[in-house]
Chain A
Amino acid sequence: MHISEGVLSAPVLICGAALALGGMAKGLRAVGEDDIPKAAVLAAVFFVASLIHVNIGPGSAHLILSGLIGLFLGWAAFPVIFAGLLLQGILFQFGGLTVLGVNTFNMAFPAMALGLLLRKGINSQRKAAAFAAAFICGGGSILLSSLLVALALFLTGREFKFVALEIMLANLPIMIIEGLMCALVVGFLAKVRPALLTGEALGFEKPAKA
């Protein structure tokens, strides 16, 4: 999912950086004091999860867990994913610094959009509905991120249909794994810490006044 240095054209890099900056600005404003520990733990999970590889067919895919981040942090997924990608770029040479904006946007935007869209779903009293919402958020984020990667490559001059198909096929097992992981984490939290899944904690309900 990390696009390497030297692959994308300058206009695509600039557009990606501008979009990521916009998302970061909005995301930093969205991080409340209570969200800091949650954001730090999810940033650590994102940073480490990307090191786990699954060799599939002609390629190699790895965990991202962006859906989980989007679900719990919404817009704050932007700064969290940016921090993780920056450290991965510096310490492990994953992706690169010039493509940081594009990679941040590709991973954070779908996570944020699906997270905001499906937050109410994981808050559902029906277990099946909560599981489905979390699964769709986890897997769907990877699907949309794959499409954004393909779009970035297409805008640089590659054939969209071929590239999109190739990337989606390579990431198909990861979509399923991430969907399941997201659903399992939500199911686990519903059992041990339901307070984290309330509308107030997820940010779609205003805190009740004392």
Chain B
Amino acid sequence: MGLSRRCSATGIALILSLVFFVSPAAAHSIYIFAFPDDSQICTNSYFGGKAKVRGGQVSMAAVSGEILATAKTDEAGNACFDRPERIQDLIFTVEASGGHRAEFKMPASEPAAGSSAYDSNDGRPAPETMAGEQAAGAAWPSTRAGSLTRDDLRQALSPIMLKLAEMESAQNSRINLKDVVGGLGWLLGLAGVAFFAAGRKNKTRIKERS
């Protein structure tokens, strides 16, 4: 009995240590996010353990499925693309070794936010103008806005856009301890169902014998 208890305790300790060994950010699978960077749209791809995807195939596609451009990730997991001529929803897909694949959808409003949100002569934001341009499917213009050019703003906003995209991606890829415990609860429940089925089988057998 003592030995059995020791074994059970060891088993539980093993599971618990595995649970707590997992850092909150660790996850399997692969992740990708995109952010406007200067005149380009860049993507960053990483695995669940935060290892960067190196040499992964990234494609930029329209919602219709048309592939607009492809690129390979560098050592830092980045792959950059020139902005497409038309403002549209974009889907970035990364494929890495071992059949890993992930997608990221960038709405048309996002690249615009990093590029041409400031489009008035006095350098102040003019969202209405942008909305009009988007609706017409126009290309991103590059006009001078007072002393502050769109390129200046784009450059200044790039690190912020990257940080925001990183934070959003980290939030989405984080493993919740509640989910881990919930999964273990499901398995416990399944074991209970199996015991119930086995018990019913035994009862039937006993009835048949008597």
Which residues of chain A have a CB within 8 Å of any CB of chain B?
1-8, 31, 33, 36-37, 39-41, 43-45, 47-56, 58-60, 62, 83-84, 87-88, 91-95, 149, 152-153, 163, 166-167, 170, 188-189, 192-193, 196
Stretch of B11-19, B118-126, B139-147 with 4 or more beta carbons under 8 angstroms from chain A: B11-19
Contact of B55 with A58 in the complex, beta carbons under 8 Å: yes
28 contacts between A and B (CB under 8 A): A4-B101, A4-B102, A31-B194, A40-B194, A43-B187, A44-B187, A44-B188, A48-B18, A48-B184, A51-B175, A53-B49, A53-B51, A55-B51, A58-B53, A58-B54, A87-B186, A91-B179, A92-B29, A94-B28, A94-B29, A95-B29, A166-B97, A166-B98, A167-B98, A170-B97, A188-B10, A193-B3, A193-B7
Tell me how many residues of B have a C-beta within 8 Å of chain A: 49
Nearest residue in A to B201 (C-beta to C-beta)?
A: A33
Bound-state CA distance A40–B188 (Å) is 7
Contact of B3 with A192 in the complex, beta carbons under 8 Å: yes
Nearest CB in chain A: distance from B40 CB, A: 23
Inter-chain pairs besides A2-B28, A51-B180, A88-B28, 20 sampled, C-beta below 8 Å: A2-B29, A4-B102, A31-B194, A36-B191, A36-B195, A49-B18, A53-B48, A58-B54, A58-B55, A58-B96, A59-B96, A60-B28, A62-B49, A87-B187, A91-B179, A93-B29, A95-B29, A167-B97, A193-B3, A193-B7
Contacts of B180 in A (CB 8 A): 48, 51, 91
Contact of A59 with B98 in the complex, beta carbons under 8 Å: yes
B157 within 8 A of A: no
Contact of A152 with B99 in the complex, beta carbons under 8 Å: yes
Bound-state CA distance A91–B184 (Å) is 11
Contacts of A153 in B (CB 8 A): 99
Contacts of B190 in A (CB 8 A): 40, 43, 83
Contacts of B47 in A (CB 8 A): 53, 55, 59-60
- Cβ-Cβ contact count across A and B, 8 Å cutoff: 148
Contact of A51 with B99 in the complex, beta carbons under 8 Å: no
Among B27, B50, B103, the residue within 8 A (CB) of A92 is B27
Q: Which residues of B in the span 115-155 have a Cβ within 8 Å of any Cβ on A?
A: none
Among A8, A33, A92, A192, the residue within 8 A (CB) of B99 is A8
Contact of A192 with B27 in the complex, beta carbons under 8 Å: no
Chain A interface SS verdict (over half): helix
Contacts of A50 in B (CB 8 A): 28
B34 within 8 A of A: no
Contact of B202 with A33 in the complex, beta carbons under 8 Å: yes
B182 within 8 A of A: yes
Nearest CB in chain B: distance from A96 CB, A: 9
Contacts of A51 in B (CB 8 A): 18, 22, 26-28, 175, 180
Contacts of A8 in B (CB 8 A): 99
Among B7, B22, B54, B100, the residue within 8 A (CB) of A4 is B100
Interface string of B179-210 (1 = CB under 8 A from A): 11011101110110011001000100000000
Nearest CB in chain B: distance from A24 CB, A: 13
Q: Which residues of B in the span 18-72 have a Cβ within 8 Å of any Cβ on A?
A: 18-19, 21-22, 26-30, 47-51, 53-55
Nearest CB in chain B: distance from A187 CB, A: 13
Contacts of B14 in A (CB 8 A): 45
Bound-state CA distance A51–B181 (Å) is 13
